[in-house]
Every structure is written in C-alpha cells, then in structure tokens.
C-alpha cells in the first residue's frame, strides 16, 4: 500500500469482544486531506473501527497506522487524532474557552498562544463571544460546534467524527453538513466520520466505505457506491434499489445474474404511451401499478411486473399533479430504462 | 366541591384532606424537633432543675461547659475520631466505588453488597465483633483499644456513605468525558486532575461531611471499641447523664452536638443539590 499519502491505514484489523466479533477483518486506507465516511447500519462495526483508530480499543489482530506511524499499541493521548464524540462529551465544569483550550493546556502550550488558538478555533465554528458560557447553557448545535473547535484546535493529523450530526434536527443537520464540509476545506485536515445516514454520506464525502457485519462491502466515491453498488447489501442500503434476478432477469434482460437499477433511472409510460416503442438502447417491462406515493417534488410508483417481481420507479413531477399520478393506481404501465443503468451485482461477494 | 384547582402533575385533594395531611406533617415534625428545641432552650435555662418555662435565660452553662476539662478532652477526641474515620472512608470508599463502577471482575456484585452491609448491621453486632477481633488479634501486636480502634470502627460504616455518593456520581458521569480528555492528549494523571476529580469533588465533599456527622454522634460501636481512657463526646454525655450536678453541662453538650451534626448535613445537602446543575 502507498502509506506515503495515507492519513490512516488499517491492515487486517479484527476486534472481538468476548465471543462477539465486532470487526471481522478490515483493510482500509484513508488519504491525506480526504473527507471520508464510514457508512453502515448500527452494529456493523463502523464505530468500533473509529474507536480503534482513536485508541479507545486495541485490535485483537491487525495494525493501525496514523500518518505512516504504527500506533497499534499506543494510548489515545499518544495518537495524533482527535475525536468529536456523538454525545459531544464536553467538560461540564469548564466554560467554552477552557473546553477548547484543554488539548493545548495538557500539552503545555503557553497560555497566550493557546488562548489565541482557541479563539481562532471558536471563530472557525462561528462561536465568538461564547467563551464564558458553560456547556449547559448552550443549544445542541452550539455544543456540537464547541466539540468541533475543541478537536480542531490541536490541528490533528486526522479528525474522527462519531455520528456528529445524529443529535441535531433535520434543518440544523443540513446546515451543519454544508458547514462541516467548508470547515474541512478551510483547515485541510483529514476528516473521517461515522454515519448511518446514507444521504449524509453521499452529500459530504469524497469517498465512502460501506460497512456490513464487521466488514467493508465497498469503498468508493459517492457516485461509484450509489450507481455501481458492489453487492446486494450496498445496493439496498445506499438509496433504494431495484434488484432484477433469476428468471425475471432472464426474461427481461436476456441474461442470468443479479442486476440493480436505481428507481430514478426508470421511466413510467402510461395511457397512450403504453404501447409506444422504446428505443433499442432501453429495456422495458409491463406491469400493474400496486401503489403510488406522492412526495411533493417526486412520485414513487410501485409496480408489479407481468413477468414476476416488483420494481420501484421515481418520477419528478414535471408535468403532473397529485391528482394525475394518484389516478394511475391499479392502472397498466410500461417501465423503461437505459441498458447502461443496469449494474451487475457480485452476489458471491455479498451477504 | 371535592376538588380544587392545583398545579399540573400534583394530585387533586379535597380541602379537608389537605388540612388533615398538613396537620399530620406538622405533628410528625413536631415530635422530632420540639424535644430538640427544648434541649437547646434548656441550655440557656438559668434554673438548675430546668423548670419549664424558663424564668430567666443565662449563658452561664455554656461558659461552665467550655471550662470543663472532661468535655473539652471528649470534644477533641470526637473531632479526631471523626476526621480519622472520614479520611479512611474517603480513600477506601472512593477506591471501592471506582473498582465497582469502572471495572468488570469476578465477585463485583458481592463486593458491592459487602461494602454496603455495615450500615445495615446492628451497631451492637459490629461493636462486639470488632471488640473481639481487636482484643484477640491485634493485642498480641501491641495495639490496645483506644482512639485508633474507634477510628477503624467508625470507618466501617462511614465508608458506605462515601462509596454510595461517589458511585452515584460516577454512574451519572459515564466515561465519555474521560475518553474525551485522553483523546485530547491528557495522560491518566492529567485526566484525573483536570476532569475526574473536579467532577467528583462535590460528591466527595458531601460524602465526607455526612461521614463526619455519622462518626461524630456515634455511641454503640464506640462503646465497644474505645478503651478505658478514651471518651468521645456522646460517651461523655452517656456517662454523665445520671449525675444530677452535671445536668446543666450535659444539656449544653447535647445542644452543641445538635448544632455540630446539623451543620455538616445541611452543607452536604446544599452541595449535592448544587451538583445537579453542573
């Protein structure tokens, strides 16, 4: 592996708690300056991997490198990585400034300098003027920013974020997504964050590792992971996906195997368009609409195919109103999609 | 009308029920506190036979008591015993709480029960057991019943108070702030000094004050563990209770003991109340 550019390198990392295996063999390389997401359902081992990198857990097997240095046996305070905890873990008996200064204070940075750097970090997260407040007097979003400033002020090699936006409401979460991204660009530190929210991972990251049952199923850019899922699990977990398999694949696509087609890539043809020819670059299938879900900007059609199986199609409400689309329930439709949007899925490698 | 408008969440009571309940509360508290107030008032009663109500008030008995050599020695002994027992309780109670709360080991639940048990054991049983143990086991090593054995005896139940206080605090704190401290580069000692200890401080103070108050007015275990020459304040009262000419002094000592016990308890409650807002 090219450990020169790597901020974090995991080699054959396994972690067992008694008889429970939380991490079942993970190899991972996170590059310098990357915004990297570890995505997976709860219990998939992603948080354990984060704690292994921070040093709160020691791997049962394998090694952890930070910036090319083997840190497998080192304590958290000997590692050049800082964590933003899910519950923020701010020190309740210190004010905001003391919280942010803490890392510099224990490293014996002179008072004038640490004060300057702490104020700088607080300015970065737009919390100037809150120095004297106690964590108990702050809102959830503000506590989150303090936790971020407290970690950033140490200028670590890697910043680890454990579900950083999990406790915030939707509106604030979307704001913080944008802000985290711009802070990362500004400071240039590698961000490695854990999330179970696929939308968050897709929006924010340069690359994503999808975790399942203690293993990594796929590592890739958001587009790669979304459009070319490497396994049935990834296809199902990242976005909604249609799987065409077995006899249905044989009949529709003329070949065996498992294929995934994203709902938004499928056109819904109804009424006069039902018998219209589809182009040679497309595959199509007829069926009956089982359900219509109107979601404002788009509508979700659940269609039972005549050849068996069920596909979900997502259509932007370009020309249609809610009345139009709801009338299609139980109607006959034809679904069409371009061949290049069918992606074969490696079933053997999946679950 | 059987109901009255009340604040949300409080049970609705009829006016009659409210009056009855208030009177019961007042009667219950009166049974406990009126006799104590009488003791306090009598310490200023000029009448040697404590005729009631006092016809004349005087500070004379307090002066007499202060000049009493026996009382002063006993007071000093009680303070030393209390401080000694509190120091042992703070050290061992805190360590036991950390062990039980932060580590998983064989027999953890049993250890927890064994630490708490002394507070439930009858003092007379603890006293007799310790008395036997000290005389048969420690006397061959030259340790006689005295202040040291009183301190050890008091520590057995003072530990429980500190243990319970610290345990509850540790449970509430969790480990994430300590993790955060280590993550930010603090070694184990720095984490204890800057994070764990400051967050425990009020629990330690409250536990220590309560432990001191418990030790200060303890009499049963003290009776069995103090040698012939050692008299704590409660023991002094007990020994002088039935000597008629000492009655005014006993009264003053009792009054002083009330004040001495109430102040630490009051402070301990204030401190643990404050801690909830951190």
Same domain, A212 and A258: no
Overall average pLDDT of the A249-268 stretch? 84
The whole-number pLDDT of residue A3 equals 47
Any idea which of A53-62, A72-81, A173-182, B89-98 has the lowest mean pLDDT?
Answer: A173-182
Is there a domain that residue A1 lies in?
no
A312 with A216, same domain: the answer is no
Least CB-CB distance to A102: which of B184, B187, B198? Answer: B184
Domain membership flag for residue A69: yes
- Structure confidence at residue B274 (pLDDT): 55
pLDDT of residue B1: 42
CA separation (Å) from A120 to A88, A114, A126, A143, B202? Answer: 20, 10, 10, 17, 33
Q: Which of B102, B184, B196 to mutate to test the interface with A (most CBs of A within 10 A)?
A: B184
Rg (CA), chain B: 24
Residue B104 has a pLDDT of: 86
Residues A29 and A159 both lie in one domain: yes
Distance CA B159, CA B92 (A): 7
Percentage, residues of chain A above pLDDT 90: 46
Q: How high is the pLDDT of residue B52?
A: 73
Q: Does B277 touch chain A (CB under 8 A)?
A: yes
Domain count, chain A: 2
Chain B residues lying within 8 Å of A154, measured CB to CB: 184-185
User: What sign does the CA torsion over B245, B247, B248, B254 have?
Assistant: positive
Provide the pLDDT for residue B90. 96
Q: Residue A31: which pLDDT band, with cuts at 50, 70 and 90?
A: very high
CB A107 within 8 A of CB A69: no
Whether residues A193 and A332 fall in one domain: no
CB contact under 8 A, B184 and A75: no
CATH architecture group of domain B68-276: Orthogonal Bundle (1.10)
| The model's pTM | 0.75
ipTM value for the complex = 0.78
Distance in angstroms (rounded) separating the CA atoms of residues B107 and A212: 36
Last residue of a domain, one of A190, A212, A237: A237
Single residue among A237, A254, A286 that ends a domain in this structure = A237
Q: State the pLDDT at residue A351.
A: 41
Query: Is a pLDDT exceeding 80 seen at residue B262?
Result: yes
Of A64, A57, A49, whose CA–CA distance to A7 is shortest?
A64
Domain match, A165 and A299 both = no
- Phi, psi values for residue A265, rounded to 5°: -90, -5
Domain end marker among A215, A237, A259: A237
Q: How many CA atoms lie within 13 A of B166 on its CB side?
A: 32
Which residues face B105 on adjacent strands?
none
Say if residue A130 is in the same domain as residue A203.
yes
* Burial grade of A256 (CB within 10 A; 0-12, 13-18, 19 or more): exposed
Write out pLDDT tens, residues B160-199.
999 999 999 999 888 889 999 999 999 999 999 999 999 9
CATH code of A121's domain: 3.40.50.300
Which residue range forms the structural domain that includes residue A130? 6-237
Residue A92's pLDDT is: 92
Model confidence over B126-142: pLDDT tens digits?
Answer: 899 998 888 888 777 77
Is the CB of residue A237 less than 8 Å from the CB of residue A256? no
- Indicate the domain borders of chain B: 3-33, 68-276
Closest residue by Cα to residue A138 from A178, A100, A183, A194? A100
**Averaged pLDDT for residues A326-338:** 87
Q: Are residues A16 and A122 in the same domain?
A: yes
CATH number of domain containing A326: 2.40.50.100
- Tell me the pLDDT tens digit for each residue of A45-101: 999 999 999 999 999 999 999 988 999 999 999 999 999 998 899 999 999 999 999
Give CA–CA dist A222/A205, Å, rounded. Answer: 7
Q: Do A89 and B190 touch (CB under 8 A)?
A: no
């Amino acid at each position: 592996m090219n450990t020169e550019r790597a901020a974090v390198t995991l080699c054959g990392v396994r972690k067992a708690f008694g008889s429970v295996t939380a991490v079942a063999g993970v190899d991972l390389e996170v590059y310098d300056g990357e915004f990297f997401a570890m995505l997976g359902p709860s219990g998939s081992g992603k948080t354990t991997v984060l704690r292994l990198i921070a040093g709160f857990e020691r791997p049962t097997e394998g090694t952890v490198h930070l910036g090319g240095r083997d840190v497998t046996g080192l304590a958290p305070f000997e590692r050049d990585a800082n964590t933003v905890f899910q519950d923020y873990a701010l020190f309740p008996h210190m004010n905001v400034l003391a919280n942010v200064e803490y890392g510099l204070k224990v490293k014996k940075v002179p008072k004038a300098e640490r004060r300057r750097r702490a104020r700088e970090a607080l300015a970065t997260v737009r919390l100037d003027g809150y120095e004297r407040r106690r964590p108990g007097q702050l809102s959830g979003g503000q506590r989150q920013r303090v936790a971020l400033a407290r970690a950033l002020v140490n200028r670590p090699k890697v910043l680890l974020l454990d579900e950083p936006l999990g406790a915030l409401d939707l509106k604030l979460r979307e704001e913080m997504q944008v802000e985290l991204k711009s802070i990362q660009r500004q400071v240039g530190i590698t961000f490695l964050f854990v999330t179970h929210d696929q939308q968050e991972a897709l929006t924010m990251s340069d690359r994503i590792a999808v975790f399942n049952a203690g293993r990594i199923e796929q590592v890739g850019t958001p587009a790669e992971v979304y459009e070319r899922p490497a396994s049935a699990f990834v296809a199902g977990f990242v976005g909604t996906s249609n799987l065409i398999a077995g006899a249905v694949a044989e009949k529709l696509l003329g070949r065996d195997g498992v294929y995934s087609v994203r709902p938004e890539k499928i056109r819904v043809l109804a009424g006069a368009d039902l018998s219209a020819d589809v182009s040679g670059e497309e595959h199509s299938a007829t069926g009956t609409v089982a359900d219509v879900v109107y979601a404002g900007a788009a509508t979700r059609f659940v269609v039972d195919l005549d050849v068996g199986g069920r596909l979900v199609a997502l259509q932007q409400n370009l020309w249609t109103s809610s009345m139009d689309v709801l009338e299609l329930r139980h109607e006959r439709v034809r679904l069409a999609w371009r061949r290049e949007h069918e992606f074969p899925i490696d079933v053997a490698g999946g679950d | 009308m059987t109901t009255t408008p009340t604040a949300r969440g409080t049970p609705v009571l009829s006016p009659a029920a409210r009056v009855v309940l208030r009177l019961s509360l007042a009667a219950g508290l009166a049974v406990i506190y009126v006799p104590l107030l009488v003791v306090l008032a009598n310490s200023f009663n000029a009448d040697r036979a404590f005729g009631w109500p006092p016809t004349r008030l005087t500070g004379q008995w307090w002066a007499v008591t202060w000049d009493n050599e026996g009382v002063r020695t006993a007071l000093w002994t009680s303070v030393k015993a209390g401080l000694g027992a509190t120091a042992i309780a703070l050290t061992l109670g805190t360590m036991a709480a950390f062990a039980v709360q932060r580590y998983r080991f064989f027999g953890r639940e049993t250890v927890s029960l064994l630490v708490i048990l002394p507070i439930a054991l009858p003092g007379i049983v603890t006293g007799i057991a310790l008395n036997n143990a000290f005389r048969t086991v420690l006397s061959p090593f030259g340790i006689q019943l005295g202040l040291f054995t009183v301190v050890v005896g008091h520590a057995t139940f003072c530990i429980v108070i500190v243990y319970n206080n610290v345990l509850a605090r540790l449970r509430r704190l969790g480990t994430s702030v300590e993790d955060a401290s280590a993550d930010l580069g603090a070694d184990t000692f720095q984490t204890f000094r800057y994070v764990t200890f400051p967050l425990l401080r009020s629990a330690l103070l409250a536990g220590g004050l309560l432990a001191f108050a418990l030790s200060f007015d303890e009499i049963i275990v003290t009776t069995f563990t103090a040698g012939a020459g050692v008299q704590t304040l409660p023991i002094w009262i007990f020994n002088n209770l039935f000597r008629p000419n000492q009655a005014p002094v006993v009264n003053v000592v009792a009054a002083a003991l009330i004040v001495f016990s109430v102040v630490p308890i009051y402070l301990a409650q204030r401190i643990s109340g404050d801690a909830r807002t951190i």
